[in-house]
Amino acid sequence: MSRILVTGSADGLGRAAADSLLSAGHHVVVHARNRERAAALDGLVERGADLVVGDFTERNAVVRVAAELNEGKPLDAVIHNAGVWSGPAVMPVNIVAPYLLTALLRGPRRAVYVSSGAHLSGRPSLSGVDWRGEKPGSYSDSKLFVTTLAAAVARLRPGVLSNAVDPGWVPTKMGGPDAPDDLELGHRTQEWLASSNDARALFTGGYWYHGQLLEPHQAVHDEAFQDRLVRTLAEETDTVF
């Protein structure tokens, strides 16, 4: 069984993925941004999940969480699920935190980055991006960046199976009660890519939707854009990928 970190697992897709992986017998590490949110994870912790707490809008908190995890049992996989829809936290949570965890965590051989169909309308430009979240950021841009990061990890770290997943527009707190997509299907692909030894799940560099490979924004597989993104994030965070 694998040891898998699911970020942003207090509710929604992250909670569903963590619950399902735990039920399947995996060793799960759940994450919440603060102690109040962590209370929602008591049931999973009582069933054996480990817990880490850290506000991903704060870079020092991400670094601390990574250090805490590196001191424990090695992780086999990370599902980078934590995300926000709007406001100043968009870039810090949706792309800076996944980058920092990718750069700092030792051991994971699988990385799943939760993307969105909205990435298709993102702009492949890094000029003027507010990585520190001092003003509202573009959700579409952040999801284009994290989808590109997944492709960059697949190329630059050949020992890591790295993929991006579009869970669909599902009825979570972020998606709203009237979202038309299937909540169950929304988290199954992340779990499968993080844990399965099925031949198709051993793919790397893909953009997935409900178990199917799709073609992402053309910038995602532009190696020059990947390199610029990784270099920009390394310089911004003073953390080499």
Q: What does the angle CA 18 – CA 21 – CA 22 come to, to the nearest 5 degrees? A: 80
Q: Write out pLDDT tens, residues 113-163.
A: 999 999 999 999 999 999 999 999 999 999 999 999 999 999 999 999 999
Name the nearest CA neighbour of 142 among 193, 82, 192, 224. Answer: 82
**Which secondary structure element, helix H or strand E, spans residue 22, and what is its range?**
helix 12-23
Q: Please provide residue 237's backbone torsions phi and psi, each rounded to the nearest 5 degrees.
A: -100, -5
> Which one, of 104, 113, 232, lies nearest residue 161 by Cα?
113
Residue 179's pLDDT is 52
Three-class SS state of 78: strand
**Which has the closest alpha carbon to 145: 178, 123, 165?**
123
d(CA 65, CA 227): 26
What is 3-237's CATH topology? Answer: Rossmann fold (3.40.50)
Catalytic site includes residue 135: no
Active site residue 139: yes
Distances (CA, A) of 133 to 9, 55, 56, 87, 91: 22, 13, 11, 8, 6
- Under 8 Å between Cβ of 69 and 62: no
pLDDT of residue 168: 79
The first and second tokens of residue 112, run together, are: 């799943």
Out of 143, 173, 207, 209, pick the active-site residue. 143
Torsions phi, psi of 143, nearest 5? Answer: -75, -30
Q: Which of 99, 113, 139, 209 is catalytic?
A: 139
Task: Show pLDDT as tens, one digit a residue, over the chain (241 residues).
Answer: 999 999 999 999 999 999 999 999 999 999 999 999 999 999 999 999 999 999 999 999 999 999 999 999 999 999 999 999 999 999 999 999 999 999 999 989 999 999 999 999 999 999 999 999 999 999 999 999 999 999 999 999 999 999 999 997 655 565 556 555 666 677 899 999 999 999 999 999 999 999 999 999 999 999 999 999 999 999 999 999 8
What is the widest separation between alpha-carbon atoms in the chain? 46
